[in-house]
Each structure stands twice: as structure tokens, then as C-alpha cells.
Amino acid sequence: MSGADTPHRDYVGGLFRSHYPWLCTRLRRHLDSSASAEDIAADTFVQLLMAPDVGPIRQPRALLTTIAQRLIYQLWRRRDLERAHLDALQQLPDAEGPSPEDQARMLEALENIDSLLDGLPDKVKATFLLSRVNGLTYPEIAAELGISQRSVSDYMVRAGHTATCHRRRRREGRCPRLSDSF
């Protein structure tokens, strides 16, 4: 950050000093550990710090709660993905299972895909996953989802556009959490 960002950093720093303990206490009710609550609270302020032009906030606790709740949902979704992935791996015979390193890479890729597709309608997500993960053709996806092949094509374009936008934002430093999985 440049020197011009000092007022923004100072403002968010003041919010942090005023509201961090309160936010941690509030988050402990929803999370399984104090450490998780502290991590989510810290990530909340990081997101606020990374936001452009945060001016005076009339209700800072409401905004902090909203940001933190989104981060909790992401955490829960990531845990669900991890559980589903581990359950699928347990179904494989030991000789066929991937190494721990490969498992970690696959889990990270799944998290990146989930983040990438966050906010898209369910049918767009399902279309993309059936194509890229399951390797289905457009006619197979259309039959699976009960939609037209034209819709499959449109959904793939939409998902591809979202991926391109995320990659562009990442290159510009505005989207640090996503990797270039695609």
C-alpha cells in the first residue's frame, strides 16, 4: 500500500481496536474453537482493509458481522468439501488412493473451484463441474440436468467468463485467494 492509503489503514486500525474483541466473542458462538473465531475476525478486518474507499461506516458492527458470516459460510463449505473428498477417498482401495501430497493438492483445487464458482446459479455450477470434473459431453450434461444443449453451452460460457474475471483480478492483485486452477 502506498502512503496515500494511510488514512484508510488508520481508519480500519481504529475499527480493529474498537471491535475485534467484540467480534471474536460473537463468533465463538458459531465456531468450534476460539482460534477459529480469532482467525475469522482477523480475516474480516483484512477484507475491510483490502476494500477500496471505505469511508465512515454508520454501523460498523453490522458490516463486520456480515463479512464475518460470509467467511464462516466459506469455512463451513470448505469443511464440507474436505469431508466429501475424504469420504470418497475412503471408498478407494488403498493401492488406488492418492498420496497425502496429491490429496492436499486436490483439496486445494476443489476449494479454488468452489471459490471460483461462488455466486453462480446452481445449474451453471453443476454444468461446469459435470464438464470439467466428470468429463461429460454437452449432450450428456443436458440429459443429466434436464436442460437443452444450448443452455449447457451458455452456462459453460458464463462459468468460463467468471473464471477469466477471477484470473484477471488475481493478476491485478485484487483477488489474492484464488489460484489459476483453469
Task: Give me the pLDDT at residue 167, please.
Answer: 62
pLDDT in tens, 120-147: 787 888 888 788 777 888 998 888 888 9
Confidence at residue 55, expressed as pLDDT on a 0 to 100 scale? 74
| Joined grid coordinates for residue 81 | 468439501
**Which domains does the chain show, CATH number per domain?**
1-97 (no CATH), 99-182 (1.10.10.10)
Q: How many CB atoms lie within 10 A of CB 113?
A: 21
Locate 75 and state its grid cell.
Answer: 469455512
- The whole-model pTM stands at 0.53
Please choose, from the candidates 176, 155, 154, the residue with its C-alpha nearest in 3D space to the C-alpha of residue 166.
176
Counting as low any pLDDT under 50, the low residues of the chain are 1-4, 175-182
Report helix, strand or coil for 172: coil
